[in-house]
Structure 1
Amino acid sequence: MKNRFLVGSAVFVSSLAFVGCGMLPGEDDKVITVWLMKDSVSGAYLDRFTEAYEKDNPSVELEVKIQEWTGIGKKVMAALDSENPPDVIEVGNTQVAQYAESDGLRDLTLESVRDLGSEDWLPGLAEPGSINGSQYGIPWYAANRVVIYNKEIFAEAGIEELPRTRDEWLDMTAELDKGSRQGIYLAGQDWYTLAGFIWDEKGELAAESGGEWEGRLNTPAAIRGMEFYQELQALGDGPKDSDEVTPVQEIEFAKGDIAQMIDTPNSAVQIEEKNPALKGKLGFFPIPGKTAAKPGSVFTGGSDLIVPKNSSHRSAAVDVVKALAGEKWQTDLAKTMSYVPNKTTLADAIQGHEATSAMAAGAAQGRATPNSPKWANVELDNPIKRYMTAVLQGEDPEIASEVAVAEITAALR
């Protein structure tokens, strides 16, 4: 095994590196450089994957370089514009459109359709990777929000059945919201959660029309999503004018008087660290949908894998992507990192894991942010957050939405 894991300018040689390798690389050997993001996978996973891959492909040496999320956009854009980019890059699923606009990505449509079973991919990973009918990003892993609940508070309230519809959820949360106890902690500017409610109503945050992107928060469907958010948010004491990190909602939940919150399951670890008395008392269920037929829509976060057009080893790079996105290493990744695998057909890999199974159920209804290369402009000074606060503080949603739509549209033009 010949791999080297690099972080910044420092070189870390894997404990398995070069073991059993008695020869220098030959003329046909290829060094495939892979950029992965910090904390996406464990060192043990990388060791297993690299050892197995290099054993099966003796002419390939994998060189994995770990990247920081901060500033990664500019770094990737510079790499795509260079003559010697890395061969494979992990990117956030919502970043693919921005990189594809640079014309620096390899079109992976043929490989994804023929070899990777793209019909079963999670939509929240696959759709952002597809630009104008071409697949540039190959889904790698996903994570999304679920409802985290305090089992002890549910038991004290006599609640035995978890809700499967929005109406059931509202009724149950109202029952929990009594005395000094909060039915749910939902910050007023949790716009990712709002997006799911809007999608359930068949609305959009923004959409493309006539080749131009425009905001869509003013449609009846989007307003219905905001009205549901308003009903739910009122069943707790979450702030109306800040998001879920001000104050940090895990710290609030750890105080022990909140029945539910909405976040990714790994938040439970932080909650238990803040309040060890809650260890073993936290449960998880998918965000309920409008009917019991399926869970509610959720924003899917996660990563796709891309191959730069200027890669010196494009075919070999695609083979590495196929391995990482294939069933064997997707199953390993899901079990190792508690991620949702990239296909709905791999749900058995996380069977028996309450938190990850709840995520996977929601991920089947997952979506990503609007697939505009300029969507990052919206998030820089997010008008959706201001819109939410305005409505929660009493402004007419139709009037408030018009202001937000104008700002979103301007950011996307």
Structure 2
Amino acid sequence: MKLRLLTGVSALVAVAGLSACSSSGSGDGGSTGGGRTAIDVWLMRDSVSEAFQKDFEKNFEAAHRDIDVRIQIQEWEGIGEKVTAALAGNDAPDVIETGNTQVARFAQSGGLLDLSDKVGELGGDAWIEGLAEPGAWEGKQYGIPYYAANRVVVYRKDLFANAGVDVTRIKTRDQWIAATKKLDKGSQQGIYLPGQDWYAYAGFVWDEGGDLATESDGTWKGALDTPEALRAMAFYKELQALGKGPKDSDEAQPPQAEVMAKGQTAQIISTPGGANVVAQINPELKDELGFFPIPGKTAGTPGAVFTGGSDLVIPVVSQHHDAAFTFVKELTGDTWQKKLAVAMSYVPNKTTLAGAVAADPGASAMAVGAAVGHATPNTPGWAAVEARNPIKDYLTAVLTGGDPEREAAEASDAITDAMKSGS
């Protein structure tokens, strides 16, 4: 999932008529001059910097002189349809970067190579769950975790100091609420939380032990009407009231970074990249912005977050499975994951590599949350839910006075119907 500022992913269309095969029986079927195998790789815009890409290609080809890597940068807009077409044809690239929540849709089509027998070799026991889980489908691993990003709290150091709030003492949701109440005074917002920030709400649902949808005997249904999700809604409502965020729009309308840049907002929930936007708009705030993980219910556990980011997949129709896997193994291996994390302020794909971003305040705050991160329900039908997004309507309905239980039941039914239509 594109997560430079955590925007959504387009709904995808299922691919039919392809059958999966095991990576163990694949080989490389083509080569360039000099006996080198050429592989085409699609990486997404902002996935890597130009400098990182050049450094990786140079070192990779020096270590693997029989492979010629040809990386093509793709735009996020329309990428679902482009990948769908590629998987259905005979000229797909050999490696594709895909949003972690997209993998199930592509895997269901039969267009992705099963890499289950490679998990141990790739150190899969340490993968971030929010990347690894959606990269699997029906017990098989198709997506290899590439990088992660998630929301943190971006805060104003000066406003916290003026209110006498010590950020180091905010370890629980109750402490967060108490601090935010002190910050919410006069024209100053304790927190700017739009009413339809459903990813933030999802984190509170997971904190309570619930989920957005549940599966039983192969059937998925919405779960916003469970006691856990209703408790999450109550907390969301309490937090949202400590600011002037609109109840009927999300963090992009208006852009919350623009709101914070105006100078009267103590906190927003965003990826660290949001702080960069704030500072670009209002350079005077550059040194006043800090980060901390979204607090959890208890001091020992940070708040659950949606883990966005990307996985790498190999199309079945690729003629160069071995070379493609070599590329994936290198880019997702410890050496290049550490370099990628530093270069791009991403969270590495393994919990054991969190120390790589220790010197980056925003990325290190992300890494704390990523360790307990979640993905949206792992079903191809979820894309239809995001397209219609009854969760946003539900949040607005409750925040504007609707009965939580009645509105939750209606939203759960809408989620159920959407998943049925999208599967």
TM-score past 0.5 threshold: yes
Q: Which of 86, 99, 111 pairs up with 2:106? A: 99
For 1:212 and 1:160, how far apart are their aligned partners in 2?
47
Partner of 1:158: 164
Cα distance in 2 for partners of 1:151, 1:144 equals 21
Q: Deviations over 1:241-268 (max 9, x none)?
A: 1111111111111111111110000111
The residue number in structure 2 matching 1:334 is 341
Of 133, 139, 161, the match for 2:139: 133
Q: 1:84 to 1:156 in 2, by over 3 A?
A: same
SS at match of 2:232: helix
Structure 2: 5+ residue runs without aligned partners? 1-30
Instruction: Say whether 1:223 aligns with 2:230.
Output: yes
1:200 alignment partner, one of 199, 204, 207? 207
Of 126-135 and 154-163, deviating more is 154-163
CA distance in 2, matches of 1:374, 1:133: 17
Q: CA deviation at 1:28?
A: 3.2
- What letter is aligned with 1:160? D
C-alpha distance in structure 2 between counterparts of 1:208 and 1:314, whole Å: 33
User: Could you tell me whether the CA contact under 8 Å between 2:385 and 2:418 is conserved in 1?
Assistant: yes
Any residues of structure 2 matched to 1:391-402 within 5 Å, and which? 391-402=398-409
Work out the number of aligned pairs and report it.
389
* Match runs of 1:307-318 below 5 Å: 307-318=314-325
The aligned residue for residue 243 of structure 1 is 250
Alignment match of 2:61 (pick from 45, 54, 62):
54
Deviations 1:83-107 (A, max 9, x none): 2311100000000000001101111
1:258-337 pair list within 5 angstroms = 258-337=265-344
1:66 corresponds to 2:73: yes
CA separation in 2, counterparts of 1:75 and 1:280? 41
Aligned-partner SS, 1:292: coil
Identity %: 57
Task: Measure the CA separation in 2 of the matches of 1:35 and 1:308.
Answer: 11
Give the counterpart letter for 2:133 in structure 1.
E
Looking at structure 1, the residues matched to 102 and 202 of structure 2 have their Cα atoms a distance apart, in angstroms, of: 18
**Helix, strand or coil at the partner of 2:307:** strand
* Cα distance in 1 for residues equivalent to 2:207 and 2:332: 29
Q: Give the superposition deviation at 1:80.
A: 1.1
SS of residue paired to 1:330: helix
Which residue identity is paired with 2:160? F
Out of 110, 117, 120, the position equivalent to 2:123 is 117
CA distance in 2, matches of 1:273, 1:317: 39
Cross-structure match for 1:29: 36
Q: How does 1:166-205 map to 2 (within 5 A)?
A: 166-205=173-212
Post-superposition Cα deviations, 1:257-290, rounded to whole Å, max 9, x if no partner, equal 1111100001111101111111100000000000
In structure 2, distance between residues paired with 1:281 and 1:351: 20
Q: 1:27 to 1:83 in 2, by over 3 A?
A: farther
SS in structure 1 opposite 2:268?
strand
State how far apart, in whole Å, the 1-side matches of 2:255 and 2:33 are. Answer: 54
The answer (yes or no) to whether the contact 1:84–1:312 under 8 Å persists in 2 is: no
Distance 1:64 1:161, change over 3 A: closer
Shift of 1:161: 3.8
User: 5+ unaligned residues in a row in structure 1: which ranges?
Assistant: 1-23
Q: CA RMSD in A?
A: 1.1
AA in 1 matched with 2:333:
G
SS at structure 2 position matched to 1:139: strand
2:119 aligned counterpart, secondary structure: helix
Paired amino acid for 1:46: Q
Distance 1:161 1:251, change over 3 A: closer
Q: C-alpha offsets along residues 65-97 of structure 1, whole Å, 9 cap, x if unaligned?
A: 111111111111111112231110000000000
Contact 2:160–2:167 (8 Å) recurs in 1: no
The yes-or-no answer on 1:87 pairing with 2:94 is yes
Once structures 1 and 2 are overlaid, which stretch shifts more, 173-182 or 300-309?
A: 173-182
- SS of 2:287's partner is coil
TM-score normalised by structure 2 residue count: 0.91
Question: 1:284, 1:100 → 2: CA distance?
Answer: 36
Q: 1:129 corresponds to which letter in structure 2?
A: G
Q: Which residue of 2 aligns with 1:349?
A: 356
Distance 2:408 2:54 in 1: 50
What's the TM-score once normalised by structure 1's chain length? 0.93
Equivalent residue for 1:255? 262
Give the deviation of 1:25 after TM superposition. 4.6
